[in-house]
Amino acid sequence: MKDKKVQLFATIVFIMNLLLAILSLFDTSIFKHVFLIVSYLAIMFAFLIYIVAKYIQSRNNGR
């Protein structure tokens, strides 16, 4: 149950940041760099959460 929730969260964050990255491509202002940095950080954070959740799940299944 928890793994599905984390997977959903990671997917939502990924889609949101994909949209932000696309939006920032058309934006020529200073915000472009901020959007890209935030988007990369959020994607990395989402993948980190996903990897940790997978690790915890595999540890719990091993018992």
Per-residue pLDDT band at 63 (split at 50, 70, 90): low
Angle (CA) 18 39 13, round 5° = 60
Residue pLDDT, tens place only, 10-41: 788 778 777 777 776 776 666 667 777 777 78
Distance in angstroms (rounded) separating the CA atoms of residues 19 and 53? 25
The more confident residue out of 1 and 62 is 62
Distance in angstroms (rounded) separating the CA atoms of residues 21 and 33? 10
38-57 average pLDDT score: 81
